[in-house]
Amino acid sequence: MSVGISYMGTKRELATTVSLVIADCQPGPILDVFSGMCSVGEAVAQSRQVWTNDIQVFAYEVAQALFTSQEHPLRSQAIADRYYDDFALAYGKLSSVYGSALEAEDAVMAASNFDEFERERRTLNVALDCCRQVAHPQKFHLFSKQYSDTFIGVRQALEIDAIVTSINSQLESSASFDHARWLTIALGRSMLRVSNTTGHFAQYLQPKIGNFRTFQRQRKRKIWQEFLEGSDEVNPVGNSLWRKNNKTFNSDTLLLLPKLLNEEERPAVIYADPPYTNDQYSRYYHLLDTLVLYDYPTMTGKGLYRPDRFSTNFSLKAKAATAMDSLVQSSAQLGSDIVLSYPSNGLVYSAGIDPLEILKRHYGTVEVCHSIGHDHSTFGASKGSAKSSVVEMIYRGRL
């Protein structure tokens, strides 16, 4: 994986199969309208130009880095050489505000049993309340103030803010936007790796007697170290000349496709892997979007959600079929072939409608290219098993 980040609904295991279906479509650019972490774009890479779209801003940043960046990411040694001094200075300033909370967190990490752990956490909560009332000595303190001891620990939150400070300091002087984007992606990757979650940011886990040791281990992981290691594992796709001619979009798919009717160049192929459950994807990745936007959002709910989280009709049973019809119709109006991935347990099927019939309304030639047994992750097993066995249908429509 070029960025090493798992994303809900990913088709990485099916990407090669999908790419072979796309290879038999008309020549020209492919537009992946729900690109996520870009597994299909990577599989298609350099056989044709790749356009991507995703409404989630972090996913959009990933697509830009993979498919349009003109500079390779810096590696860990170069990052340490260029960024550490700014990082250390910013971390020191934040530590002067959060000193009592850091001491309290150390006591939590040293607790030998759950009762002691819970007692020290109560002390930490009091210390954090006091620290948050103090005027902050620097511009970038979002994670320290709003997310300490939630998905991440206090020290980890300070490290995130200090890294953001160093990225922006270098961006103002000499760093390129490409380098800053790669670093932000590596930082997001490190946040996921140290977080107190089941692999996403829908909600952070509450420590219990059975898991508090795991909680302690996660809190002890260093963001800076994870950040450096992650920076050595991110890479762009293809060569710079090929990337120069790709396009990325950050839009609601159902609004984007009609807009493309006014463009001279249109995609030859639309690949669509729409949401298929009643889970809104924005719920799972809002913290990554906040990292990019860094806008000090008002937070709500147990997941500390952003107020502007996107909601799609594809995840509403009563509207999913209409949304899919609109998607297919717009693709046909563009003159694009369409390749559609959709699982047998998707909401459109649940509403009693076969996606094949929707495709036949708008395309002259429609076929089921593959019917593949596949395990979908439930991302934390909130609704039962951690894996859901389904049949993944891959359709193709041509005018």
> CATH no. for residue 283?
3.40.50.150
Do residues 243 and 350 share a domain? yes
Asked whether residue 340 is assigned to any structural domain, the reply reads: yes
- ∠ at Cα 175 (170, 178), nearest 5°? 130
Please name the residues in contact with 23: beta carbons below 8 A apart, sequence gap of 6 or more. 44, 47
The Cα 111–Cα 120 span in angstroms is 8
Q: In terms of residue numbers, what domain contains 207?
A: 76-231
Asked whether residue 59 is assigned to any structural domain, the reply reads: yes
In tens digits, the chain (399 residues) has pLDDT values of 467 776 665 567 889 999 999 999 999 999 999 999 999 999 999 899 999 999 999 999 999 999 999 999 999 999 999 999 999 999 999 999 999 999 999 999 999 999 999 999 999 999 999 999 998 888 999 999 999 999 999 999 999 999 999 999 998 887 789 999 999 999 999 999 999 988 888 889 999 999 999 999 999 999 999 999 999 988 999 999 999 999 999 999 999 999 999 999 999 999 999 999 888 878 888 999 999 999 999 999 889 999 988 889 999 999 999 999 999 999 999 999 999 999 999 999 999 999 999 999 999 999 999 999 876 555 554 444 455 678 999 999 999
The Cα 217–Cα 131 span in angstroms is 24
If one counts the domains in the chain, the total is 2
Do residues 181 and 272 share a domain? no
Tell me which of 211, 231, 251 is where a domain ends: 231
Do residues 247 and 373 share a domain? yes
The Cα 393–Cα 399 span in angstroms is 20
Asked whether residue 304 is assigned to any structural domain, the reply reads: yes
Tell me which of 201, 231, 261 is where a domain ends: 231
What is the DSSP pairing of strand 247-249 with strand 387-398? unpaired
Asked whether residue 336 is assigned to any structural domain, the reply reads: yes
Do residues 290 and 311 share a domain? yes
Tell me which of 198, 231, 264 is where a domain ends: 231
Asked whether residue 315 is assigned to any structural domain, the reply reads: yes
Do residues 44 and 87 share a domain? no
Asked whether residue 87 is assigned to any structural domain, the reply reads: yes
The strand ranges marked E within the chain are 30-32, 50-53, 247-249, 269-272, 337-343, 365-377, 387-398
Do residues 124 and 242 share a domain? no
The Cα 74–Cα 70 span in angstroms is 13
The Cα 323–Cα 272 span in angstroms is 12
Do residues 130 and 252 share a domain? no
Do residues 371 and 263 share a domain? yes
Do residues 382 and 245 share a domain? yes
Do residues 83 and 194 share a domain? yes
* Cα–Cα separations (whole angstroms), residue 85 to 81, 91, 123, 143, 278: 8, 10, 32, 20, 46
